[in-house]
């Protein structure tokens, strides 16, 4: 043993060295592992490609295709409306979709559909509506349950059809079927989503049935249809001449009654 070191001194030095080694090991464990930048790029790309295959992502692609029509000059609004009807019916597996629009004479007419039988559609497009017939405060007509500011539900039980209305129904033989659950959509049931412009100006509406499996559209489908309503409102607004002080026709929303006269009921 070296004359200047005692056994206790050597032991203390070894204990200190062990402690230093433990601290170094702990720091190595706590220090985050360095990630290569190429790994980060690959991870983001892989995650994005996975999202593209998600059903909701395909919905976004469909809406993007419709919005791309805004870049066309001139944009043919009628083509966009028809494409919107086709897209909604196909994407959400609805039995039918009909879209109406304000005409230059101030009346409202159906202008596009997807899934309707020709004979039923022929009778639907022959009908005209006034803005008053969409106003919730008018009583004595069809009764609707408010779903949101834009959307209402019309149930077959609340709105019995007259004989003259049967020709407008897509599948009249299925009327008066039994509702077995709250999700069931009968032949006479439909949802109605308003197309509103600035200051609640009435530009048109979207009517749609239940799904091909006989169920009501779920809440997210209703939200997607309301988004389509916004897209169509922007498109339709591009063809409306604006003048200073022009009076706008508006529809009040927010109550449970959304009428349509018995002979004019959209089915």
Given this model, what pLDDT does residue 30 score? 60
What φ, ψ does residue 112 adopt, rounded to 5°?
Answer: -155, 150
Q: What is the pLDDT of residue 199?
A: 84
| Of the candidates 59, 143, 129, 140, the residue with the CA atom closest to the CA atom of residue 98 | 129
Q: What is the 3-state secondary structure of 141-159? A: CCCCEECCCCEEEECCCCC
Q: Rounded to two decimals, what is the model's pTM?
A: 0.73
Annotate 1-33 with b (16+ C-beta within 10 A) or e (fewer).
eeeeeeeeeeeeeeeeeeeeeeeeeeeeeeeee
**13 in helix, strand or coil?**
helix
| Cβ atoms within 10 Å, residue 225 | 22
**Cβ contact 185:214 at 8 Å:** yes
Which domains are present in the chain? Answer: 55-264 (3.30.450.40)
> CA dist 131 to 55, 123, 237, Å?
37, 20, 17
The tens place of each residue's pLDDT in the chain, 267 residues long, gives 555 556 566 656 666 766 656 766 666 556 667 888 888 888 898 888 888 888 788 889 899 999 998 888 888 999 999 999 999 999 999 999 999 999 999 999 999 999 998 888 988 898 898 888 776 545 656 778 889 999 998 887 776 665 555 545 555 545 566 778 888 888 778 899 999 998 888 999 999 999 999 899 999 999 999 999 999 999 999 887 654 444 444 454 443 333 343 334 454
Cα–Cα distance, 216 to 209 (Å, whole number): 8
């Amino acid at each position: 043993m070296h004359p200047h070191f005692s056994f206790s001194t050597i032991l203390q030095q070894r204990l200190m060295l062990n402690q230093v080694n433990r601290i170094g090991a702990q720091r190595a464990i706590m220090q985050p592992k360095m990630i290569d930048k190429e790994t980060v790029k690959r991870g983001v790309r892989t995650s994005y490609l996975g999202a593209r295959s998600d059903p909701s992502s395909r919905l976004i692609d469909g809406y993007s295709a419709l919005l791309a029509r805004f870049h066309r000059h001139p944009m043919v609004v009628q083509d966009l409306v028809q494409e919107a009807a086709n897209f909604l019916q196909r994407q959400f597996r609805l039995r039918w979709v009909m879209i109406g629009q304000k005409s230059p004479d101030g009346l409202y007419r159906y202008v596009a559909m997807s899934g309707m039988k020709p004979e039923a559609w022929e009778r639907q497009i022959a009908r005209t509506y006034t803005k008053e017939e969409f106003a919730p405060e008018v009583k004595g007509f069809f009764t609707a349950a408010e779903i949101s500011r834009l959307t209402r539900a019309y149930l077959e039980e609340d709105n019995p059809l007259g004989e003259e209305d049967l020709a407008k129904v897509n599948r009249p033989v299925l009327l008066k079927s039994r509702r077995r659950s709250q999700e069931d959509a009968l032949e006479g049931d439909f949802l109605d989503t308003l197309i509103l412009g600035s200051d609640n100006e009435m530009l048109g509406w979207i009517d749609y049935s239940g799904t091909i499996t006989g169920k009501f559209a779920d809440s997210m489908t209703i939200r997607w249809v309301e988004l389509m309503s916004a897209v169509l409102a922007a498109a339709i607004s591009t063809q409306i001449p604006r003048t200073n002080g022009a009076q706008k026709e508006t529809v009040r929303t927010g109550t449970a009654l959304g009428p349509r006269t018995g002979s004019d009921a959209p089915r």
